[in-house]
Each structure stands twice: as C-alpha cells, then as structure tokens.
Amino acid sequence: MSTSLSLKVMYHTFGCKLNFAETASVAERFAERGHLAVDEGDTPDIIVVNSCSVTAEADRKCRSAIRSWHRRWPDAAIIVTGCYAQLKPEEVQALPGVKVVAGVNDKLRIPLLAEEAAAAVPFPPAKDLTEFMPSCSRGDRTRFFLKVQDGCDYWCTYCTIPRARGRSRSGTIAQIVEQARQAAAQGGREIVLTGVNTGDFGRGRGETLLDLCRELDKVDGIERYRISSIEPNLLTDELIDFCAQSEHFMPHFHVPLQSGSDRVLELMRRRYDTAFFASKMQRIRQAVPDAFIGVDLIVGARGETAEEFARSRDFVDSLDISHLHVFPYSERPDTRALSLPDAVDQAEKHRRADVMIALGNAKHEAFARRFLGTVRPVLLEHSGEGRPMSGFTDNYLRIRAELDPALDNTVVPMLLDALAPDGMSFLAKKA
C-alpha cells in the first residue's frame, strides 16, 4: 500500500443514522486530502469500517464482514471506528487485516491515520468523549441526515451506548443551521435531525431542541424536517405544538417506549411510566391527528416475566400508534441489567418479538388504511433507470408512482390510490 499517492478507500457503515452521517464526514476529509472512494470492481487500499455495538449480533456481523474483506483484499489496511471499536478495541485490533482502531472522537483523524497505516502503529481509542463532531450526510437523492447531538447521560440499565459514545453533547444552533443551508445548496429537500438522545440537544448551554427547530424552520430550500427519535420525557408539549403548526416539520414522531410494563420500565431505569407515555401519545393525536407515530420496543429484557410481557402487549395494543420497531433484548457486557433476575431464553424472546411484530404490522396497516383515497404531499424520488418514482408522504407513508423524471426531488400532491400488497404502502398518482 502506498501512503504518498491517492488512496482508494472503501467505506462500510453499520448501525444508526448517526454513524452514516459521520462516515460521510470522514469520506469528505479523505476527499479533501486527494483520496478517492472506490468504484465498483476497484481494489481498495483502505477499508474504513464504522462499527455498531447495539447488540451482540451487531458485533458478530462486523467481525464476520472484516474477515471476509480481509480474505478478498489481503493487502488492504482495515481501519475500524465506531461503537464496537470504542468498547472492545483489543478484540477489534486482533481481527485479520485491522491496522488501526480509532475511537469515536477520532473519526475525523482517520485520513491521517490511514496515511500512516503502513507503519501500523496501533492507535488507542480516545478516552475523552466530550467533543462534538459535526456531521451531515446525504442519505439518498433527497434526504440528508444532520447530526445535532451525540452521547447520552441516561444510563438505562440495558444500554451500552453511553459507554461507547460518551457524555451528552451537541452542536450550536448557528453551526447546525449553517449545515442545513449547505444541504439545501446541494439540492437537499428533506433533513432528518439525528442524535443519540436528540431531545437533550443544547442542555448545559441554554439552548433547546425547540429553539433549534424554530431556527431551522427559517432555512430557505429545506421543505421538510423530521426528528429521528426523541425520548418521551423530552418530547415537550411545546415541541408537539410547534410541529403541529410548522409547515416544514412533518407530522411524524418516533418515540422509544421500550416496554409497556411499569415494572420493566423501572428495571430499565427509564424516565417515565406507561401512564405518562400514553398521555404523550394522546397529546400528539390531539395536536397532529394525522401524525405517523413510530414506537421502539424491546422484548425479552431481564425482568420481563410472562405476566409483564402480557401487560406490555396489552398496553401497546391500547395505543393509537402507527408502527412498532421491535428489538429482542441483547445482553451487553458491563451493563447493570446483567445483575437483574428473570433472564428470558432466546426462543422465548423471538416468540415475543413475533407477537409484537404482528401487532405492529396490524397497527401500521390500520393507520395506512385511514389515508386510502386521500391526497397527501409526497417528496418524489427517481432512484434509478427503469425504476418507478418512490417517496414518502408528509406523514411517512411510503408510495410508488409511475415514472416522471421531471418530478424528481419535488414535493407533489399525490392521490393514495391503492394499497400495495404489503398493506402498508400505496400505489399513488398525481392528484
């Protein structure tokens, strides 16, 4: 591998939207230094892996991908960053082909490290996770992911993320508004605000997520914003009301519940109970009746006995929500949950996941049916030769429509004409 010439770099991202946004920033830094992203069929000099450690399965997938890339391109220097690298640097360093393990806060130094990688000095992960690294990535032709916050101070008992990503910190409003302007200049029409604990934006600096949203609302060219996920206790009534009256913040909320049992919520050290969560859902429905509400749920956590699971299921069933993201609980090293009683075996976790996924699908379908035959604004995208147009309504219903490339990256009123066979998306036509 040469270090003085332009390097060919392959990027692979595991995990969340935050990681995708950060990989895009790393790629920009490589490009500024004259290095090229690999094209189809190229042999990479450098493979940058942005890892995830949200579950044991995420760690396993990362290890398996690294082994297979090393078999395919034995001369490529593999550089691993992200949560898995931060939490288990020795384990990652021992994988074949891995030359550098970079901590979460060292992502932007990776191009320099890559140039030195021939020397292969193992790089210890950063211990100090207090800096905010701004990142904004283009998700597809129309959407950008803008990181507004990083880290978390909540220490839920099952979660390893505070260890991997460090203390809660965020960008400034001025910095983030400037990134939104740049995204608009590059043709972005929609921005998804991302973070580990997004609702914690600005804490300690006298700024709030609501202040940020008010300023972003004024940026010319960005027609749509979505907030990727927000803790229920940080989803204030003021923020809900702001989304209700804003033209640019979409009727779309994503709120983690994690369990519909108060006992399990307490064991998880979540900062709300089911009554509070239900009241937030009602508040959203009153203010924004057509809102899409996505809810995260963990099944099979320690302490979730058969009775607590039944309670959780009944509670979820009682909510007027649009979608469930279901995650079987995964034991993570060094978390307090490991000392809790009542572990649930794998087969039972998967059975419970199937129950909740079926419930979530039924809710998604019922929500979609409410809009059959109505007209909603859709940000249309033409994603490639021979493909139809696709896109999302303001309230996050997926549509497909006949090809009309002139409408690419524009918001168009569309008639939701027929439900697709999945029962959750639509075949649509221009209204």
List of residues contacting ligand SF4 (CB under 6 A): 152, 154-156, 159, 161-162, 196-197, 231
Least distance from ligand SF4 to the Cβ atom of residue 154, Å: 4
Least distance from ligand SF4 to the Cβ atom of residue 271, Å: 8
In this structure, are residues 79 and 49 in contact, taking their beta carbons and an 8 Å threshold?
Answer: yes
Helix locations, 166-219, DSSP H: 173-185, 209-216
Cα gap 347→56, rounded to integer Å:
16
DSSP 93: H
Rounded to an integer, what is the distance from CA 318 to the centroid of its chain?
26
Least distance from ligand SF4 to the Cβ atom of residue 152, Å: 3
Least distance from ligand SF4 to the Cβ atom of residue 242, Å: 22
Residues 251, 256, 258, 261, CA torsion sign: negative
Residue placing its CB nearer to ligand SF4 in the complex, 161 or 291: 161
Residue placing its CB nearer to ligand SF4 in the complex, 161 or 356: 161
- Residues ≥6 apart with Cβ < 8 Å to 224: 189, 190, 191, 248, 250, 379, 394, 411
DSSP 124: P
Radius of gyration of the chain (CA): 22
Residue placing its CB nearer to ligand SF4 in the complex, 263 or 351: 263
Residue placing its CB nearer to ligand SF4 in the complex, 155 or 186: 155
Least distance from ligand SF4 to the Cβ atom of residue 119, Å: 36
Q: What are phi and psi of 191, to 5 degrees?
A: -125, 130
Least distance from ligand SF4 to the Cβ atom of residue 64, Å: 25
- Which residue type does 276 have? F
Residue placing its CB nearer to ligand SF4 in the complex, 59 or 115: 59
Residue placing its CB nearer to ligand SF4 in the complex, 154 or 242: 154
Least distance from ligand SF4 to the Cβ atom of residue 194, Å: 12
Least distance from ligand SF4 to the Cβ atom of residue 122, Å: 28
Least distance from ligand SF4 to the Cβ atom of residue 155, Å: 5
In this structure, are residues 239 and 209 in contact, taking their beta carbons and an 8 Å threshold?
Answer: yes
* Cβ atoms within 10 Å, residue 186: 11
Q: Which residue reads 């049992």 in tokens?
A: 261
In this structure, are residues 295 and 117 in contact, taking their beta carbons and an 8 Å threshold?
Answer: no
Least distance from ligand SF4 to the Cβ atom of residue 137, Å: 20
Q: Where are the beta strands (DSSP E) in 139-200?
A: 143-147, 149-150, 169-170, 190-194
Residue placing its CB nearer to ligand SF4 in the complex, 196 or 356: 196
| Three-state DSSP state, 236 | coil
Cα gap 142→382, rounded to integer Å:
10
The region, left, alpha or beta by phi > 0 then psi within -120 to 50, assigned to residue 155 is left
- Which residue type does 145 have? F
- Cα dihedral: 323, 329, 333, 339 (round 10): 130
